[in-house]
Amino acid sequence: MSRYWSSLVHRLTPYVPGEQPKLPHLVKLNTNENPYPPSPRVVAAIAEEMANGGQSLRLYPDPNAELLKEAIAARYSRFDISVEQVFVGNGSDEVLALVFMALLKHDLPILFPDITYSFYPVYCSLHDIAHVAVPLTEDFRIRVDDYATANGGIIFANPNAPTGCLLSLAEIDQLLVAQPASVVIVDEAYIDFGGESAITLVNRHPNLLVVHTLSKSRSLAGLRVGYAVGHRDLIEALERVKNSFNSYPLDRLAIAGAVAAMDDQDHFEQTRQAVMRSREALGSALLQLGFVVLPSAANFLFVSHPQSDAAQLAARLRQRGIIVRHFRQPRIDQHLRITIGSDEQCATLLQALREILPGE
Ligand SMILES: *Cc1c(COP(=O)(O)O)cnc(C)c1O
């Protein structure tokens, strides 16, 4: 505590990201990174941006990242998305931070599930926004009827994190129709691993904003690129806040790499299909080991074991060099979130669990 701190800083409880260990040989299944490398075209595009001794790095990047917005709009052209309907930022975490400032700060409290991405309450405390946590059902599902109260906006992850549960497009549509006065933010960080994007609904609902990231399904967590798609009025609100804060959130290398990633559909398809196949295989193997496995549409599984304490299990795995995510939080403190790794990593995990679990 310092007397030089602002009163805001005294009030903050920052987000705690999953561990990024310095040890090289760990089996890292704790932050939902992609086990496969990004498209080779990403590497080539970044190398090209650095050509001629890095000449171009002398110059500021395009503050509007127009090339990237075009690549994103082109990717969703079948839904009739124009460049003016796309916003880009330094990771979707930054996009979300701006969303809270630009679209979710109103007089009424905003609504989000009691179990969801734990950054949402952190943004609320940063921006001084009241919120109400709406409980998920017993089986960890979002029930849209539970959001039928006056509110300053609604945000949830779909598939939800850390549960992996998917809400159908029909239910999202129903929520949008029931709440025309509220902005509804759908954080689709994991949508490419098993869901259909609500971007299809954007042109029918001026109150819908869909947020994506290149960190998971495009294997680019280290490049820091995220984006949002919605009505141009919503995008303008984000641009106004962004241009009051940092005009150049995406650097030249990030823009070049992200454009290449959005353009390589083949690599994207192959890697996401591989992750989904591994998820089904790992899910069955964990069931056989006695785990309760929630159905997942994401690149992770949310599991519990009736005979084993989750925190202890996580600690024992860690002793064997395997890290998974455990949340010390009511309702889910007996669950573990396990990222889908490469097939070799999944095999290492299963072997370790066979050694650890009672009676195995
Ligand atoms: C990973 C994740 C993000 C953040 O993604 P970045 O683009 O890496 O900042 C946002 N929302 C959810 C639900 C996530 O799981």
The two structure tokens encoding residue 219? 């294997």
CATH 3.40.640.10 domain locations along the chain: 40-264
> Cα–Cα distance between 311 and 306 in angstroms, integer?
13
> Cα–Cα distance between 149 and 9 in angstroms, integer?
31
What's the average model confidence in pLDDT over 233-242?
98
pLDDT tens by residue, 173-226: 999 999 999 999 999 999 999 999 999 999 999 999 999 999 999 999 999 999
Read off the pTM: 0.96
User: In degrees, to the nearest 5, what angle opens at C-alpha 228 toward C-alphas 225 and 230?
Assistant: 165
Q: Please tell us whether the domain made up of 40-264 is placed in CATH 3.40.640.10.
A: yes
The two structure tokens encoding residue 281? 């295989």
pLDDT at 51: 96
Task: Compute, in angstroms, the gap from residue 357 CA to the centroid of ligand 1.
Answer: 31
Superfamily the domain 7-38+266-355 falls into: Aspartate Aminotransferase, domain 1 (3.90.1150.10)
Mutate to test the pocket of ligand 1, among 16, 31, 92 (most ligand atoms within 8 A of CB): 92
Of 225, 227, 223, the residue nearest 187 (C-alpha): 227
Task: Compute, in angstroms, the gap from residue 360 CA to the centroid of ligand 1.
Answer: 36
Task: Give the length of the chain.
Answer: 360
pLDDT at 34: 98
Least confident of 20-34, 88-102, 234-248, 262-276: 20-34
What's the average model confidence in pLDDT over 151-166?
98
> Cα–Cα distance between 230 and 81 in angstroms, integer?
9
Tell the residue nearest (CA) to atom 12 of ligand 1: 189
**CB-defined site of ligand 1, < 6 Å:** 32, 91-93, 117, 157, 161, 187, 189, 213, 215, 221, 226
pLDDT tens by residue, 49-70: 999 999 999 999 999 999 999 9
* CA distances (Å), origin 117, targets 153, 155, 188: 16, 10, 11
What's the average model confidence in pLDDT over 135-142?
97
Task: Answer yes or no: is pLDDT of 360 > 70.
Answer: no
* CA distances (Å), origin 283, targets 35, 124, 353: 17, 35, 13
CATH 3.90.1150.10 domain locations along the chain: 7-38+266-355
Half-sphere exposure of 122 (CA within 13 A, CB side): 14
Residue type, 84: E
Output DSSP code: residue 99: H
